[in-house]
Amino acid sequence: MMNKYLLLAPALLAASIAQANSLDLPDTVVTASRMEQPRSEAHAASSVFTRADIERLQPSDVPALLQRVPGLHIARNGGPGSLTGVFLRGTTSAQTLVLVDGQRISGSSSGITSLELLNIEHIERIEVVRGGRSALYGSDAIGGVIQIFTRRGDADAGWQPRLSVGVGSHGRIERGVGLSGGNAVTRLDLGLSLDETDGFARTTLEGSNDSAYRNKAANINFSHRFNQRLQAGISALRQSGDTEYDYSLSPAGFAQDDFELSSLSTFVEGQINPLWNSRLELGHTEDRRTTEDPFGGSTFNTYRDQANWINTLELNNAQTLILGADWYQDRLNSSNEFDRNSRINRAAFALHRFSGDQFSTEIGMRHDRNQQFGSENTWNTAGTWHLNPQNDLILSYSQAFRAPTFNDLYYPDSCFMGACTVYANPDLKPETAQSYELQWRSQLTASTRLETALYRTLIRDAIVTNNALDGNQAGSNDPFRPENIDKARINGFEATLQQDMFGWLASASYSLIDARNASGGGNDGNRLARRPKNSLTLDLDRSFNAFSVGAGWTLNSHSYDDLNNENRIPGYGVLGVRGSWQANDELRFNVAVDNLLDRDYYQARGSAFDADTFAPVSFRYREGGRTAMLSAVWTPRL
């Protein structure tokens, strides 16, 4: 039935002051080429959410907003703050690079970014670039790149404080306070927030308790222009708190993660001459976790120091050359003994862009040298044929790779009652990928925009395990030991249609993703886990002077939770509604209801062991049912 419905239906601050001004425009993108440009001129497929989009759509968190991106699927382990998988164009969470103000923020132990912990109150803009981008960003950018920009001051709005408070289902309370503003020389944004919820029973395990979640967050974003040729800035984002969940080794057990996720970055940028702009960025990120469980718990703290040097050369009116160098060092401090806990990556890259009346081209190359794996070369090329002012055809080829994580390589074995489980494989090779893509972009009418893409991705030496988040299975004598398989194959199609009709803003995104194991082994041809084949999202909004209303509908076809394709996750459809009232120039009230029809569905399964017999117990992760959120935002004028 679900298939029937679906068929029917970089900058550290990422830009200079001038770029920051343009970031307010809804149709620019920075992440596609590490330089600010109109979205219509970027060769890579992309989606952009501005602060205005966030306030209109009222998503509960970052994953709820990202699920509107074509080709991107979210799989939660139940409720706010829970482990969340991001599957972009059929790839795994660790195969998508996530940046905050230009800085990598994934945990180097697992390679996964805790997007569920990023408070959306402190976010100005999110860009999602789909397709391999390792020629610009190096490791991890197989499925694409997600870049998050923290809130920044508006040079035209003057100084403006803000205060927000919200209450919702499951004892959820949100509080936030901030100050934003500046002028043409100096811009500043400060923000603090506290979100708490009593939660609900996240699993179907017997004895499952309500899982509480608490998140304290803060951001600062400051930039200053010394003169027409020199500027500098600093930004910081920090989340800390705790989240509770059922402990999978015991149905009656309970665990808690104390977390801290932070990013600090600074930049200095100079216009060396009319043709040459140079920018130096320095950053430090941390992902710190301490787990308390019935067996004592563990600590995983990862740290990353980063430096980027980006030079933009305007060769002439039609040609731009970007030359850059990246450096970062990963460090791990854990209560478990890893054989290695540090590594350094150095890289140099170049990107050439040509823009003509009939044709536009892009070619990029990058050389990475990893302290552990040696060298990796990647490149991409793309060409756009401007059929007419309303229609473009884009053909592209890209390469990408992902280096194994500390967990993949060195996670220590676990032994219990004479039996040992192997969790690591020091002989793993990096994953490599090749992608081919054809896009058609059309301005059908003045109020109708259509963007489509047809692509094929081959991933060789794919790293697969029985990891619960990504649902893969190696099929060896040690089921938790990661291994390289020959290849995985992903074929996909996506389309986005935007229409402004009779005052209603409508948006629809459809994705067809056929992601399969192509290794030639026993599971050859099986679908990769937690990737629905068909997905559809619809959004409809309209403003009536001081009032606005909207609705969003998300549909996903069935998927599987294992590579054997034995554990089926049923398809589902979820409807949400929202509204707001601008009571006056300073006060706005918002209301949002998710899962309006109270559908019983789930996005992931898990397994545990009976505390008495140690027999395996299967369970599914719960969603919160129908939930509501009522909030008020006060922005007094100074």
Question: Residue 352 contacts by C-beta under 8 Å, 6 or more apart in sequence?
Answer: 319, 320, 321, 322, 361, 362, 363, 364
Residue 217's CB is within 10 A of a number of other CB atoms, namely 23
Q: Say if pTM beats, i.e. exceeds, 0.75.
A: yes
What is the architecture, at CATH level 2, of domain 2-634? Beta Barrel (2.40)
How confident is the model over 113-126, as a mean pLDDT?
Answer: 95
Flag whether pLDDT at 26 surpasses 70: no
Residue 255's CB is within 10 A of a number of other CB atoms, namely 19
Domain boundaries, the chain: 2-634
Asked whether 280 and 317 are in contact (CB, 8 A), the reply is no
Flag whether pLDDT at 472 surpasses 50: no
The confidence band for 502, taking pLDDT boundaries of 50, 70 and 90, is confident
Q: Mind spelling out the 3-state secondary structure of 481-544?
A: CCEEEEEEEEEEEEEEEEEEECCEEEEEEEEEEEEEECCCCCCCCCECCCCCCEEEEEEEEEEE
CA distance 591 to 597: 16
Flag whether pLDDT at 498 surpasses 70: yes
The answer to which of 156-160, 386-390, 631-635 has the lowest mean pLDDT is 156-160
pLDDT at 420: 75
The confidence band for 202, taking pLDDT boundaries of 50, 70 and 90, is confident
For residues 276 and 411, the model is more confident at 276
CA distance 471 to 375: 30
Most confident stretch, 9-23, 293-307, 571-585:
571-585
Q: Which residue, 498, 494, 493, 388, is CA-closest to 449? A: 498
Phi, psi of 64 (to 5 degrees): -65, -30
Flag whether pLDDT at 20 surpasses 70: no
pLDDT at 473: 39
